[in-house]
Structure 1
Amino acid sequence: MIRDISIQNFRCFENTSISGFKTVNLITGKNNAGKTALLEALLLGGSPYPETLASLKGYRHESEELDKTLPERAWDYLFYNQDKSKIITIETNTKNISDQTNSLFIKIDDNKLIESNKLIDTNKYIDFPSTKSSNLQIESVINKDTFKGKLIANKEGILGTWFKPLGKDNIPFIPSSFVFSQQQIADEYDKARLSYREKEVLNGLRIVDSSIDLIEYFGIGSPMLYLTRNNEKRLPLPLFGDAINRITVIILSIVNNNSNILLIDEIENGIHYTNQANLWRVLFHLAKEFNVRIFATTHSLEMLTAFAKVGLESEFSDLAAHFEMARSVKTGQIIGIKRDMETLEYSLSHDRRVRGE
């Protein structure tokens, strides 16, 4: 589980280190203070593979057609100030039985020849065209083992060499604007059923909405989940609104988690303030039970207040930390100001500003 992170030349981070992550971490700050960028750095640091970088472009809704038209611009937004002459470095330290350090190095290297003039894409060899392209070199050091790969942007799209070790699952990332299909949700519920964890999903939803009695999976046509409330007739999950859909995705991302990390951007989206404390209780309970470290961002004072309240409950003591993203007055660099729950609650109760104001 990630304990701390060091980031250089990635997005808005020129040189930032943040330490002391707990089991459940809530990140606040002004717009463009680095909240989402920190989640992206944690994603790359926890899963330092070319596949992760390719997935990140999808999470950002970056245009595939633009990458094909202007491949030399495909990687601009990864780099601090879009300066591709510098190397991106993301280093994470974990707290396990034995401490482990993972390092990820990313650089543009358009001048070197590609070995054999070929790249691997979905296990097929593809000729690398001589037209405009941009070569992203990737080097990962994982527990002292070094892996090298590359991603190429050209008129065909994004091609690459993959090296993710077998058995390493992707880190679940729930972006603020990313919509999961009903089939994706149904498939994840099927995984939970195979692991005998479907009761955790039902219990989690019932904490937020006590009227839910039953979850069912139907694969006729397009697979979908159905919920039953108060012994009424079942209804498809989409009819229960954004909050229940989003909470279902979050719970499934914990109970099916093999990476021990979950990233949630703008966790408050769709969640009414009266349900926020109950949601945090679900997340604290599941994170503790399934050994998953949660990193979430929020703009909401209500969500932050509910987090502090639940984090102070005896059952969850010493599990939570709050990080405020802000710029150092002295250096201008982005920093993460850590608060434990007692300090956070004191600041909130005394009207101290804790969201980057």
Structure 2
Amino acid sequence: MIPSIGIKNYRSLFNLQIQSLGRVNLIIGKNNTGKSSLLEAISIYINNADLNWIFTLLQERGEHYKNSTNINNIESNLKSFSSLFFGREISFFNEDHEIEIGLLESNLFGVQISSDSVIIRLVKYVEEVIKQPDSENKDRIITRRKKIILDEKDETLFAESTIGIELKSSDFYVIIPIETERNYRIFNYSQSKPIDNIQFIRTRNIESELNGRLWDNIALSRKEEFVIRALKIIEPKIERLTFINNNTAGRQERIPVVKLENELNIIPLKSMGDGINRILTIILALTNSDNGYLLIDEFENGLHYTVQEKLWNIIFDLSNQLNVQVFATSHSLDSIKSFEKIINNQVKIEDGKLIRLDNINGLIKPVEYNADELKIATNQDIETR
């Protein structure tokens, strides 16, 4: 689990430090307080600054730009990457403008991001040709990318330089060029094993394609029972669930269908409303995140307030059984109240954590609530959002 998180210069988060995280974390705040940015930053850290994942985030935000001929070029790629940085400001030489995400640690200078952080920045570099002897003592020609630093006076270097994105963590370092028509998804540079047990649920209520794949992963296992249990929050008569092929308007897709108690016909889950489909997406993602992480943007989407406490109860239960750390955002008072009831009445207090993000003169600041503070706030109708 991630015990804390520090984020510098990522989107709207200039310098955010959250010093304590739980197993299930609810992140609240008004619009434009960086809730989604916090989820994204956590996912980048978990994925070890994987460039494929970063491009996925850009595409989800509609910030993977192309030029008029639908081809990536240096200008459009630079525009895409600049959207990751605080204020969309980039500097090729000033490290104060780099994105840094990592755990927090205390030292002589106070609480800071640890050296195991991931760092993202845009740089200017030149390619150097180097001769290295091989095992047979013969020269081997390799090309190395050398980052240009500000105090280098060689004007030739600047003239020959190009722009790249620098990615580094405790176990890798790479500069990847921003070039025309480059397929960034071919890169596999990290020495760490890719994380496959992280699920990121967006604000959409129905994720048909994703849900089908996640269901296949748990089919015929005991996890099917977890999914049925969650769906029964809304429809107690559900007995079974499966996915079938459906051809609608010439488009082939797999859709979830359910069998109800004492009913002969199967029923498409889409016909039962947004809420039950949102629950399906959340629980399928959770049951596919063993020993990993689940991130949910706008938890309350499609969910009536009467079902939220029951769903939180299942999330706390399964996150403990499957060893999953959960991060969810919300700006719903109903979500906050139902979350508070769970952490004060039914689970270990340390399992749940509520963090409020405030926008104070353009800077995002966190306020952390323990269980007792949250109980007092909700009982007295103190504004926590």
Question: TM-score scaled to structure 1, two decimals?
Answer: 0.83
Aligned position for 2:227: 201
How far apart are residue 327 of structure 1 and its match? 4.2
Q: How many Å separate the matches in 1 of 2:62 and 2:176?
A: 18
Query: CA RMSD for the aligned pairs?
Result: 2.8
Aligned position for 2:138: none
Task: Answer with 1 or 2: which has the greater Rg.
Answer: 2
Aligned position for 1:139: 168
Aligned CA distance change for structure 1 residues 45 and 187 (closer, same or farther; 3 Å): same
Aligned position for 2:60: 59
Following TM superposition, the consecutive aligned residue runs of length 4 or more in structure 1 with deviations greater than 6 angstroms are 114-119
Asked if 1:310 is matched to 2:321, the reply is no
Aligned CA distance change for structure 1 residues 217 and 294 (closer, same or farther; 3 Å): same
Q: Please show how residues 184-333 of structure 1 align to structure 2 within 5 Å.
A: 184-193=210-219, 195-219=221-245, 222-232=253-263, 233-258=265-290, 260-327=292-359, 333=363
- Tell whether the 8 Å contact from 1:169 to 1:259 is kept in structure 2 after alignment: no
- Tell whether the 8 Å contact from 2:205 to 2:274 is kept in structure 1 after alignment: no
Asked if 1:166 is matched to 2:172, the reply is no
Q: How many Å separate the matches in 2 of 1:42 and 1:323?
A: 14
Partner SS, residue 68 of structure 1: coil
Q: How many Å separate the matches in 1 of 2:330 and 2:80?
A: 29
How far apart are residue 229 of structure 1 and its match? 2.5
Partner SS, residue 31 of structure 2: coil
Q: Share of identical aligned residues, percent?
A: 28
**Number of equivalent positions:** 331
1:317-356 deviations in Å (ceiling 9; x for gaps): 3311110101468xx742211112221121122121111x
How far apart are residue 241 of structure 1 and its match? 2.2
Aligned position for 1:123: none
Give, as a single letter, the amino acid of the residue that structure 1 aligns with 2:310. N
Partner SS, residue 231 of structure 1: coil
Aligned position for 1:129: none
Aligned position for 2:101: 90
- Tell whether the 8 Å contact from 1:171 to 1:259 is kept in structure 2 after alignment: no
- Tell whether the 8 Å contact from 1:45 to 1:92 is kept in structure 2 after alignment: no
Q: How many Å separate the matches in 1 of 2:169 and 2:227?
A: 35
Aligned CA distance change for structure 1 residues 68 and 133 (closer, same or farther; 3 Å): farther
1:41-69 deviations in Å (ceiling 9; x for gaps): 11111111222212211222334435826
Partner SS, residue 109 of structure 1: strand
Q: How many Å separate the matches in 1 of 2:283 and 2:98?
A: 36
1:226-282 deviations in Å (ceiling 9; x for gaps): 112333221122222222222111111111114511111110000011111111111
The answer for unaligned runs of 5 or more in structure 2 is 92-96, 106-113, 130-141, 146-160, 247-251
Q: How many Å separate the matches in 2 of 1:135 and 1:108?
A: 6
Question: TM-score scaled to structure 2, two decimals?
Answer: 0.78
Give, as a single letter, the amino acid of the residue that structure 1 aligns with 2:202. P
- Tell whether the 8 Å contact from 2:212 to 2:243 is kept in structure 1 after alignment: yes
Q: How many Å separate the matches in 2 of 1:241 and 1:157?
A: 42
Aligned CA distance change for structure 1 residues 280 and 75 (closer, same or farther; 3 Å): same
The answer for unaligned runs of 5 or more in structure 1 is 95-99, 120-131
